Structure 1
Amino acid sequence: MANYLYAFNLNTAEQPDLFYSEDGKLKLDTVYEELEKRLAPVDEEGFFDGEGFGKLEMVRLGDTEAISAFCVTSSSLGYYNEAKIRDNHFTTEKRQHKYYTKSTIFLTDNSEFIVMFDNSMEERAKSGVKKQIELLGFEMQTFYIEDPLIRNIQTQGFPWHAATFNKIVKHGDSTKRVSFAIDPANNEDPSLVQQQYSDHGEMSHIKFDLPFNPEEAPHSVTVTLYSDKNRIIINEDEFPNTQKFYDFVVYLLNKLRELQ
């Protein structure tokens, strides 16, 4: 199952009056208490009846302490004219149809905010999830996936499978965007597309293997990055359990920040 991941930095260092942080660390106990005040309401049938949070837990991700939770957000299916009877007469009424979706979030003690969606339908709720965290008083900075990061992944020698050049400007060539795949096992023959467009466009996507744990599976994990929406995609099925998956998420973000 592909998981869609987004990362942000909470600007706690730039908000000295924010009582959630102390000595450069996020006060997870205090944040936890605030999240508990904003639990999503549930109706008698178990469906959510409002936005908020749920299933709060204090967890450890590798060497990082964090809060794990569900974030429930409302999305709209649009407005429709529905038939109804009023005073024994047929009429129509314009009504909004909405539904609630969930995402998995982590707030770490080093002021990282991580959002994960199980599919592209849930991914539409990203702005709503950010808004709920910002309502706590936080400001946040997006972790940007840009050309220099993607090129660093290539030059650092990580095996990569596919990439995309965007915003190509090359005299005599009308190509504006090109996606291509390579055989990562072939170290002798360079990619002709890479050679042709490397100096004429911005890299906007890469699929690569990141070494993780030499002692037990998975020894490496396939990661896909997109500059569009700053999206990270990982397949949870590559991991023996959820804890290993979450540990890798933190490891991946630390590695990407090093490469930035």
Structure 2
Amino acid sequence: MNRPDLADEINELKQKNETLENQIYESDKNYIKRMVDNNTHLDLVLRAIAEIESEIEKEEVIIYLAERRKIGRKPIKEELKKYTEAEDIKTVLGSHITANFTGLVDLVIDRDNNVVFLIKDRDALRIEKAWEIDNIKWIPPNKKHLPFMLPRAENVFDYYRCSDDELFQDILQYLKRFSCLSDKHFLIVVCTVFLTYIQDHPDIHYLAMILFYAIPERGKSRTGKAITHIAFRGVHVVDIREANLFRFSQDLKATI
């Protein structure tokens, strides 16, 4: 016997899926305007504007952003130059920019607030401002071009000395500050966080997607953001845009 409420849930999910598909294929101009209206972080808005091919549409969006955020068009255009130059120039003073290579643990912030490479050398960790592979010098990207939070190197060193059990309990207690879940659900969430850090392991073939389903105002978004902030290169995405999803996942190996 079919459940009426199940049919309603299926129809609701279909409608949500259609909405998401429309968001993916909508024009860049309208998409960015919605980003502005939703108070999306300015860095992500500028990245999206820099990718618009039509100069007319780009100018229209700049005007819209300036009016909504109460900032001048000239400063916006000056900031945009940084993003367009970053896309066109792949080297800095003869050094190539990268966020991924074999042997890299992650990007971290050193005591001088600079982005550096965190390298694992046998059983020890060390940081490097540059790394050479096949006679090519690689340096990390500037922090302003990274859409995720970076850990501080000294904190990583401290946690590296902890046992897996200690780290598990720390993450569990952190998540309990934001959610009220059952023990088995907390186990899934904590293990998922750990999984994001070993996603390049040859035995890992996919990452599970966690769906929080509840009536409004039950902490779904809060829990998702809490997970994102401690996942490997976690990026909180409000709106779905195909170009961003591919760039974050392929180029930055981010957790979306």
Structure-2-length-normalised TM-score? 0.24
Q: TM-score, normalised by structure 1?
A: 0.24
Judging by fraction of residues, say which structure has more helix.
2
Say which structure is richer in strand.
1
Structure number with bigger Rg? 1
- Whose relative contact order is higher, 1 or 2, with alpha carbons under 8 Å and at least 6 apart? 1
